[in-house]
Amino acid sequence: MADPNLSATPPQTLSTVPSKPSFWNDPQKRALVFQILLVIGIGLLLWFIFSNTLHNLDKRGIKTGFDFLDRPAGFGITQTLIPYTEASTFGRTFLVGLLNTLLVAGLGIIFATMLGFSVGVARLSKNWLISRIALVFIETIRNIPPLLQILFWYRAILPLLPGPKDSISLAELFYLHKRGLTLPSPLFEPAFIWTFWAFIAALVLAFIIGRWAKARREKTGEQFPVLWTAVGVIIGVPLITFFLTGSPLNWDVPALSGFNFRGGLTVIPELTALLLALSIYTAAFIAEIVRSGIQSVSKGQSEAAASLGLRPNRTLQLVVIPQAMRVIIPQLTSQYLNLTKNTSLGVAIGYPDLVNVFAGTTLNQTGQAVEIIFMTMLVYLAISLTISMFMNWYNKRMALVER
């Protein structure tokens, strides 16, 4: 309370509530009015679009709704991961396209990560030549549109390959030719399940060894070669099981008959080109992220570790990588997201992804533009939101505690 002697007004009129401004000068009311007007405006715009769309669709004789998903599609798709025939429904084409998108995205992420990390590390190499080559790779690749790179592989490089008859063959098992890469496909016998279980068991075992080694190290200080033991276990145990159960795996080896191959599995050239281009393009960005992530850890950190007697490899493992990862992982996930979105460029070379099959062919056949575009966008939105939710969670978990 103010000192009554200093106050110009008598104390009994002093109020803790400030006087009210007039309606138009009250910022809260202004904001409210503004927001109401904005909502009305957007509502009007949406209503305008909505009524136009209804009218236009009506005129073209297109019935809105999702009934078309149950109608038979009547067209073929060159690559299907789940059973699909021309008699399958349009709804099925959605699933087939989605799975094809996820296939490229998944494989692309794996390849891009491997290549990107290698190039990023090469960029930091002490060998001048290696680091220069990595730099040239990065600066060339990321300044050329990904679509151009996809088309380049598909329409300029792959056609240079010979036809199936004169395939480039590796040990008569793998054949590289114009129409793709043909390789033996595995035929599993029922007993193969044991090898699978052995693999799972080996993973668990490796995990247990890791825990045990850590506990022992903390208790006695003894160190144990966890990495090599784990690799040995994960490879060795399933391999021994495989031979003990009588090698229950056969290969369907491709053989040339006439102008094409019989048996085996053929990776279609669209997939090859798309994978090559997207992996390389994304790898260039990942390499930059890895480089800047590692360089973001100040030199003082590795000097401090060195002065404590830690070897360079341990310094990397215990000090540099844990800190670099905080910088790398959020950017890496957004690159993964970009790669996933870029798989939609496959439409330009006819790779049967979601956009090509569903937002392309299915849309043309049914004319249900609104529903189909809406569903397609929703799929990508769902993927984006999932990834950005992961990113928020990760950032919150990994944020360095500061004052």
Partner 1 sequence: MQAFITRETLPSLPPPNTIKGPMAWMRQNLFSSVGNTIVTVVIVLAILSALIPFINWAFIKADWIGTSREDCTSGGACWVFVYVHLKLFMVGLYPESEVWRTLLVGAILVVTLAGLMIKAVPFKKYIQIFAIIVFPVIAFILLSGDSFGLPHVETNFWGGLLLTLVIAIVGIVAAFPLGILLALGRRSSMPIVKAICVVFIEVWRGVPLITVLFMSSVMLPLFLPEGMEINKLLRALVGITLFQSAYLAEVVRSGLQAIPKGQYEAANALGLTYWQGMYKVILPQALKIVIPGIVNSFISLFKDTSLVLIIGLFDLLATIQGAFASPKWLGYAIEGYLFAALVYWIFCFSMSRYSQHVERSLKTTH
Partner 2 sequence: METATQTKPEIAVSLRDVNKWYGEFHVLKNVNLDVERGQRIVICGPSGSGKSTMIRCINRLEEHQAGQIIVDGIELNNDLKNIDQIRREVGMVFQHFNLFPHLTVLENCCLAPMWVRKIPRKEAEATAMEYLERVKIPHQAKKFPGQLSGGQQQRVAIARSLCMKPRIMLFDEPTSALDPEMIKEVLDTMIELAESGMTMLCVTHEMGFAKTVADSVIFMDAGQIIEMNTPDEFFNHPQHERSKLFLSQILGH
Name the residues that contact partner 1, by CB under 8 A: 31, 34-35, 38-39, 42, 49, 52-53, 55-57, 59, 126-130, 133, 139-140, 142-148, 151-152, 155-157, 159, 341-342, 344-345, 347-348, 355, 359, 363, 369-370, 373, 376-377, 380-381, 383-385
Alpha-carbon torsion (276, 282, 284, 287), positive or negative: negative
Alpha-carbon torsion (346, 350, 351, 357), positive or negative: positive
Question: With CB cut-offs between 5 and 8 Å by kind, which of partner 2, partner 1, none does residue 130 bind?
Answer: partner 1
Least distance (Å) between residue 314 CB and partner 2: 6
Select 59 or 403, whichever has its Cβ closest to partner 2: 403
Select 60 or 403, whichever has its Cβ closest to partner 1: 60
Least distance (Å) between residue 298 CB and partner 2: 8
Work out whether 126 is an interface residue with partner 2 (CB under 8 A). no
Residue 112 identity (one-letter amino acid) = A
Could you give the C-alpha distances from 307 to 10, 205, 319, in angstroms and in order?
Answer: 72, 37, 13
Select 255 or 385, whichever has its Cβ closest to partner 1: 385
**C-beta of residue 224 within 8 angstroms of C-beta of residue 217:** yes
Within 207-246, the residues that bind partner 2 by CB under 8 A are 217-223
- At 270, which helix (H) or strand (E)? helix 269-296
Least distance (Å) between residue 327 CB and partner 2: 12
Question: With CB cut-offs between 5 and 8 Å by kind, which of partner 2, partner 1, none does residue 223 bind?
Answer: partner 2
CA separation for the pair 341, 335 (Å, rounded): 10
Question: With CB cut-offs between 5 and 8 Å by kind, which of partner 1, partner 2, none does residue 124 bind?
Answer: none
Work out whether 309 is an interface residue with partner 2 (CB under 8 A). yes
**Contact string 315-344 vs partner 2 (x = CB under 8 A):** ---xx--xx--x------------------
Least distance (Å) between residue 399 CB and partner 2: 10
Q: How far is CA 378 from the centre of its chain?
A: 16
Least distance (Å) between residue 148 CB and partner 1: 6
Question: With CB cut-offs between 5 and 8 Å by kind, which of partner 1, partner 2, none does residue 341 bind?
Answer: partner 1
Least distance (Å) between residue 250 CB and partner 1: 39
Residue 175 β-bridge partners: 169, 182
Give the residue among 58, 88, 65, 62 at the shortest CA–CA distance from 75. 88
Work out whether 142 is an interface residue with partner 2 (CB under 8 A). no
Within 276-305, the residues that bind partner 2 by CB under 8 A are 298, 300-301, 303-305
CA separation for the pair 118, 109 (Å, rounded): 14
Work out whether 255 is an interface residue with partner 2 (CB under 8 A). no
| Interface with partner 2: number of residues (CB under 8 A) | 29
Tokens read off for 213:
């080694």
DSSP 348-376: GGT---HHHIIIIIIHHHH--HHHHHHHH
Count of CB atoms situated within 10 Å of the CB of 301:
13
- DSSP state, 266? E
Backbone angles phi, psi at 86, to 5 degrees: -65, -20
CA separation for the pair 384, 381 (Å, rounded): 5
CA separation for the pair 287, 138 (Å, rounded): 7
Select 326 or 341, whichever has its Cβ closest to partner 2: 326
Select 130 or 310, whichever has its Cβ closest to partner 2: 310
Work out whether 402 is an interface residue with partner 2 (CB under 8 A). yes
Letter string b/e over residues 153-166, b meaning 16 or more CB atoms within 10 A of that residue's CB: bbeeebeebeebee
Burial class (CB in 10 A: 0-12, 13-18, 19+), 248: middle
Select 52 or 301, whichever has its Cβ closest to partner 2: 301
Question: With CB cut-offs between 5 and 8 Å by kind, which of partner 2, partner 1, none does residue 376 bind?
Answer: partner 1
Within 15-54, the residues that bind partner 2 by CB under 8 A are none
Which residues make up the interface to partner 2 (CB under 8 A)? 217-223, 298, 300-301, 303-311, 314, 318-319, 322-323, 326, 400-403
